[in-house]
Amino acid sequence: MLLTVQHQTRYTYSQPVRGVVQSHRLTPSKFDGQRCLNWQVSVSDGIMGGSFRDGAGDFVQGWSVQGPVSEIVVMVQGQVETSDTSGVLRGHREIVSPLCYLQWTMQTRADVALGKLAEASAKADGSLNSAHSLSAAVSEAIAYKPGATTAATTAAEALALGEGVCQDHAHALIAAARHLGMPARYVTGYLHATEDDAPHEASHAWVEIWVEGLGWVGFDPANACCPDERYIRTGSGLDARDAAPIRGTARGVGAEDLDVAVAVQLNDQ
C-alpha cells in the first residue's frame, strides 16, 4: 500500500513561554515491511538540533524554539510504501536485548487481575500461540471507548474499568506478557483505519512481543489483529510515555493546551 500521512500537533500556552525543547520519534522505522518515499517534519520557528538512532533502532530528532512564544505547531507530512509481514518485524536493526523489555513501569505493572488474565489465557512458554492468546484476551476484556480513560490510566485500571483506547489495550497486553516472562514493548505509529480517510484524533499504538525463533511480532488488541500493510511504525518504548512521538519541556508558567489531528490516506499505486 502507498500511504500518505498528515499529522499536526499544536501547542498553545496561556502565557508566553521563554522557550521549548522537544525530542521527536516521528520518522518511520526501517524494516522489511515499510519503505519511506518522502518524509518531512517541521516545527514553527523551530531550530533543528542533533539526531541519532537509539539502541532500539528508532530515529530521534531534537528541536528547540526560542521564546517568547505562545503557540508551536509540529507538522509531519510524508509517504510510505508498506507491505504485510504478518506482524513480524523483519530487517529492523537494533542492539538492545529483548530482556530489557521485561521491566515493568507504573502504567504496565500487572496486578492480581492482570496476572490471572495472563495465566488463564496463555502459557508461560514464549510461544506465538501464547502471544496470540494474550492479545485476544485483552481485546475481549477491554472494550474500545474513546474518552473512558486518560493518558495517566494504568493497565490495571483499564482492565478493572473494562473500557479504554489503544493505549490502554497496549499497556494491558504488555503487562500480561511480561507477567508470563515474555518481553513486550509499546509501539507508536499510524493506522489507515477509515475508508473515507477522515482525520483521527491521535496517532495509533500497538504492542510487539518477543517470540523465540521469530523475533519481535506485532499485536494490536484494539483492533484484534496483527499489524499489516495499513500500519506505519515510527517508535517504541517500555510504555506510552517512553515511546511518545513528541516529548519535551517548556520554560514558563503558562498552562499548555494540546490539539492533535492525524490523517492517513490511501493512494493508488
pLDDT tens, position by position, 192-208:
976 555 555 578 999 99
Q: What is the pLDDT of residues 134-178, one digit of tens each?
A: 999 999 999 999 999 999 999 999 999 999 999 999 999 999 999
Q: What is the mean pLDDT of residues 209-234?
A: 96
Q: In this predicted model, what pLDDT tens digit does every residue of 78-130 receive, in sequence order? A: 999 999 999 999 999 999 999 999 999 999 999 999 999 999 999 889 899 99
pLDDT at 151: 93
In residues, how long is the chain? 269
Per-residue confidence (pLDDT) for residue 94, from 0 to 100: 97
- pLDDT of the residue at 200: 57
Dump pLDDT digits (tens) for 1-54: 999 999 999 999 999 999 999 999 999 999 999 999 999 999 999 999 999 999
pLDDT of residue 193: 79
Write out the three cell numbers for 268. 493508488
* Distance, CA of 19 to CA of 21 (rounded, Å): 7
Residue 67's pLDDT band, with cuts at 50, 70 and 90, is confident
User: What does the block give as the cell for 83?
Assistant: 507491505
Give residue 124's pLDDT: 86
The CA-atom distances, in angstroms, between 102 and each of 99, 110, 113, 182, 248 are 6, 12, 19, 7, 26
Which residues, in sequence order, are CB contacts of 157 under 8 Å at separation 6+? Answer: 149
Could you tell me which CATH class the domain 2-267 is placed in? alpha beta
Percent above pLDDT 70 for the chain? 96
Is the link from the previous residue into 227 a cis peptide, with omega within 30 of 0?
A: no
Q: Give the model's pLDDT for residue 139.
A: 97
Going by pLDDT thresholds of 50, 70 and 90, the confidence category of residue 179 is: very high
Domain locations along the chain: 2-267
pTM here is: 0.94
Mean pLDDT of 230-250: 97
